[in-house]
Amino acid sequence: LFTTAIEVINTLSAAQAQSRLKTELKKLLSPSVLILDELGYLPIDKAGADLLFQIISGRYEKGTTVITTNQAYKNWARIFNNDATITSAVLDRLLHHAETVLVEGKSYRMKDQVIDPLLLAYYKAKAGAQSRRLLAAIALKPQWIFNP
């Protein structure tokens, strides 16, 4: 089963409000492989962190769970609403039998994107050290640049 972390949380939150949480949990605990995409891209509140923990804990040593994220493990407390207890418990269960795969390089989604190296160099010089995020946005979406 492939889904996003936020989609899982939203589905479980809605199910909980409708007293169907157990049924929805079973759907996420039963697949032999569960892929949770984009963990950490959007903020998760305390209730969402608790729901996600139920999935990870319930699947521990019972099924393969793959998680994609752009966050290093040391930053996961921010993902889980700065709750050190939940973060520690999640990481403990995930990393016990885990293989961590670090993917570096250009984004697959950007493989066909052509970036003008002169324009990029101009904005690198202009931005300096103050705006790495702007620079990343320029590198990823050069059409966002309006006034060279």
Residue 146 has pLDDT above 50, yes or no: no
pLDDT digits (tens, 9 = 90+) for 47-75: 999 999 999 999 999 989 999 988 889 99
Give the three-class secondary structure for 41.
coil
Contact present, 107 and 137 (Cβ < 8 Å)? no
Query: In the predicted model, what is the mean pLDDT of the chain?
Result: 81
Exposed (0-12), middle (13-18) or buried (19+): which is 87, by Cβ within 10 Å?
buried
pTM value is 0.71
What pLDDT shows up at residue 100?
85
What does the pLDDT average to over 73-89?
93
Pull the structure tokens for residue 106.
């250009």
